[in-house]
Structure 1
Amino acid sequence: MAATAATLAGLALSGHVAVWHVFALALVLGVVTAVDNPVRQSFVSEVVDHAHLPNAISLVSCTFQLGAMVGPVVGGVLMGAVGAGYAFAVNAITFVGPVVALLLMRGADRVTPSVAPVAAGEEPAPAAPGIREGLSYALHTPTVLWPVVMVGAFGFFTISLPVTLAAFAKNEFHSGATGLGVLNGIVATGALVGAMTTARRTRPLRLRTVGFAAWALATALVLAAAAPDQPAFVLLLAAVGAANLAFLTSAQSLVQLAAADHLRGRVVGLYMLVFIGSGALGGPVVGLLAEHLGARMGLFVSGAVPAVATMLVCRHLARTASLRVGLTAFSVRVVRPSLLPRG
């Protein structure tokens, strides 16, 4: 990832960058990210003891989501101030700290992940390939399945929020690039508030927490779409940023806590596939909505459709009483791999 950023920086600063360079490096970055995200997220369980794992996972999830929201704003500021080449150079340099920290870690301090027990005389279930095993596990574990479903519904619309904000800045408020930067900054500010609120959470993470955060996000999006003027829109946009971070952090944390240690990487891989994949599919749809129906209608749909999905999920969970199940690292119901369907 550092190499791709450094390569693009070198090409941009030398004046030899071409469109195919950007496409090729984006492809490489996508492949690397697909490998990096699940490994990095599941690595937490190997460096933190079980007692502190819930807080550690919440912290990592929070920083991941916060970086995804604040990073584009910082990148945009750098590109406007010093140019794209130097912005990517700074991006490459930021990888030095994490790489050095990883190299300084001692292998003896790593925690050995637990493996699901196998009954006497029972043969271990054969391992299914990667995402397939994670999918099979998720389908039989409600505390993984339903957060992933809700993340997919919201990801389809909210990952492309900057596209909708660009339409607002251009067509609704007529503020251009400067106004777009302000709107993105407001979302990032709200995300910071959401991060601080999430970090102070002391109650055990429950499935209902994800549901409440999803409702808050959907409500903020719908209200922002109906905002009568720009000040009201800005205020509600900050609420969107805070609710978005709270929702994604709680969903990702719950998915990781609900996953068995030896399956966490595969489950996180499935989560990231749904999260990023839904955004990739939803981007063109959100763009078309904003272009043909207007920015307000596009934002309204971005909140209303996930709200319906959340309502259906919560209704199902209420019927099955899953909303009343406390979910901590010690009380999550885990399906034994031997009970999963074999393919």
Structure 2
Amino acid sequence: MSEPARPSALAPFRIRNYRFQWPADLLTSWAFEMETLILGWYVLVETGSVLLLTVFASLGYIGTLVAPMFGVAGDRIGHRDLLAMMRAAYAVLATVLTTLALGGQLNPSFVFVIAAVMGIVRPSDLGVRGALVATIMPHEQLIGAISISRTTMDTARIAGALSGAGLFASLGIGPAYVAIVSLYLLSTALTLCVVAPAKPHPAGAGASEAPQPSPLRDLKEGVAYVWTTPRMRAALWIAFLANLTAYPLSNGLLPYAAREIYGTNQTGLGYLSASFAIGSLVGSIALSLVGGIRVARLMIAATVLWYSTLLVFAQMQTVPTAMACLMLAGFSQSLCMISLAVILMRAASEHFRGRVMGVRMMVIYGLPLGLLAAGSLIDLVGFAATGTLYATGGLALMMTIILHWRADLWPVHAPANAR
């Protein structure tokens, strides 16, 4: 009997829909990263306040509180249609910023308002695209498909950050935003090329005669479904804690670290951001090439490495050493988040996927909370002490979660470790 063929990183691209969704996700992620870097630097330079920088970064996650309703909408109207509408909204908002910038009317107040509106929709993008991947891909290709999908964010943080920094530094914010609008428009068009069922789960026999459940009931069912599935609950607690204590150090606070700790400019910020993404990209590609992984065990090991690396990063004083730490942090973060997504998608039945990913996006609310707290702490005790507190505290709480649900996450025979 011949051995099974090794998984191919390109296998998901044999599916027609995936060949359209992947570049659409890529362009959206590029635009996200360009916007985050450009506007973060703009706010820091114009206001000179790390607290306002963290407020701005937090505004991008307002929508995490309503993310489950996006999941309900996706389950009802189809994840493809919802994703296309969301990306069209990004294009409209970016066009408003472009118009203000080119007309010389842009100021931090307008940036905060538009960031808040964008923040209602944008946090749900990752969850809806994940649900769409699970809908269009065969079960046996799900790990590879999610891993390759993750590369859209990784490459975006490399190319998007560097190109955004370059365009901003050389041409100014207006021309840079023209490029961002173009990316959003092309992404919307590619998303519409995906052919997916309008309704992910057909109604059963006689269901057409019964009244359709209300969106609120759908939401309650989704939350209950997650809460009564131990491995899902454990994964979501891990995701919440990572957003609360890990991502603030390598995301929203990076402009502050670049300017105040390392004394570098927009280009240096781009290098720092790209370093994290390079490590994440390597992790995504590596996982797409390896079969038979016990994903829950991988998630645990990667989480420990992630926090350990962030603890070292908080002590760094130069750009090269910080870049090395961020690269390793990105690698472990990628393994952790992909494993977590696979656990959720494998555990979720098809007609609950949108709601499960909506609840998953809701836990991102930990990120703005972590950012706001970090902004105040940095003013009091400095960046290094704040980073040390976040890394050590996060690791301790993470181990508590893992120990509590060890029967669902660690045994080889546990469903979360199914190959």
Aligned-partner SS, 1:283: helix
Separation in structure 1 between the aligned mates of residue 105 and residue 292 of structure 2, nearest angstrom: 54
Aligned counterpart for 1:150 among listed residues 233, 238, 255: 238
Aligned counterpart for 2:327 among listed residues 219, 227, 238: 238
Instruction: Compute the displacement of 1:179 (Å).
Output: 4.0
Structure 1 portions without partners, runs of 5+: 333-343
Aligned length, in residue pairs: 322
Kindly tell me: are residues 117 and 322 of structure 1, through their superposed partners in 2, closer, same or farther at Cα, counting changes over 3 Å? farther
Separation in structure 1 between the aligned mates of residue 150 and residue 217 of structure 2, nearest angstrom: 25
1:180 aligns with 2:244: no
Per the alignment, residue 347 of structure 2 pairs with 258
1:82 aligns with 2:175: no
For residues 13-67 of structure 1, the C-alpha deviation after alignment (integer angstroms, 9 at most, x for no partner) is 1223344533342233223325544433212233223332332233324434654
Separation in structure 2 between the aligned mates of residue 129 and residue 71 of structure 1, nearest angstrom: 40
Give the aligned CA root-mean-square deviation in angstroms. Answer: 3.3
Aligned counterpart for 2:394 among listed residues 303, 306, 326: 306
Instruction: Compute the displacement of 1:283 (Å).
Output: 0.7
Separation in structure 2 between the aligned mates of residue 81 and residue 198 of structure 1, nearest angstrom: 37
1:224 aligns with 2:313: yes
1:140 aligns with 2:240: no
Structure 2 counterpart of 1:311, one-letter code = M
Structure 2 portions without partners, runs of 5+: 1-89
Kindly tell me: are residues 135 and 94 of structure 1, through their superposed partners in 2, closer, same or farther at Cα, counting changes over 3 Å? same
1:102 aligns with 2:195: no
Contact 1:163 1:287 in 2 (8 A): no
Kindly tell me: are residues 291 and 29 of structure 1, through their superposed partners in 2, closer, same or farther at Cα, counting changes over 3 Å? same
Instruction: Compute the displacement of 1:220 (Å).
Output: 0.6
Instruction: Compute the displacement of 1:221 (Å).
Output: 0.9
Per the alignment, residue 57 of structure 1 pairs with 146
For residues 285-328 of structure 1, the C-alpha deviation after alignment (integer angstroms, 9 at most, x for no partner) is 1122223222211221221122012211221233x354111437
Separation in structure 2 between the aligned mates of residue 140 and residue 310 of structure 1, nearest angstrom: 20
State the TM-score, normalizing by the size of structure 1.
0.80
Structure 2 counterpart of 1:58, one-letter code = S
Contact 2:151 2:281 in 1 (8 A): no
Kindly tell me: are residues 204 and 111 of structure 1, through their superposed partners in 2, closer, same or farther at Cα, counting changes over 3 Å? farther
Contact 2:284 2:334 in 1 (8 A): yes
Instruction: Compute the displacement of 1:267 (Å).
Output: 0.9
Aligned-partner SS, 1:16: coil
Kindly tell me: are residues 188 and 179 of structure 1, through their superposed partners in 2, closer, same or farther at Cα, counting changes over 3 Å? same
Kindly tell me: are residues 117 and 214 of structure 1, through their superposed partners in 2, closer, same or farther at Cα, counting changes over 3 Å? farther
Contact 2:200 2:350 in 1 (8 A): yes
For residues 54-90 of structure 1, the C-alpha deviation after alignment (integer angstroms, 9 at most, x for no partner) is 3223332443465467644543332222211122211
Equivalent positions of 1:1-343 (< 5 A) are 1-33=90-122, 36-64=125-153, 67=156, 71-106=160-195, 110=197, 113=200, 129-161=217-249, 162-175=251-264, 177-227=266-316, 231-275=320-364, 277-318=365-406, 320=407, 322-324=409-411, 325-327=414-416
Aligned-partner SS, 1:203: coil
Instruction: Compute the displacement of 1:149 (Å).
Output: 0.7
Per the alignment, residue 338 of structure 1 pairs with none
Structure 2 counterpart of 1:211, one-letter code = I
Instruction: Provide the identity percentage.
Output: 24
Kindly tell me: are residues 102 and 91 of structure 1, through their superposed partners in 2, closer, same or farther at Cα, counting changes over 3 Å? same
Contact 2:94 2:180 in 1 (8 A): yes
Contact 2:275 2:327 in 1 (8 A): yes
Contact 1:134 1:267 in 2 (8 A): yes
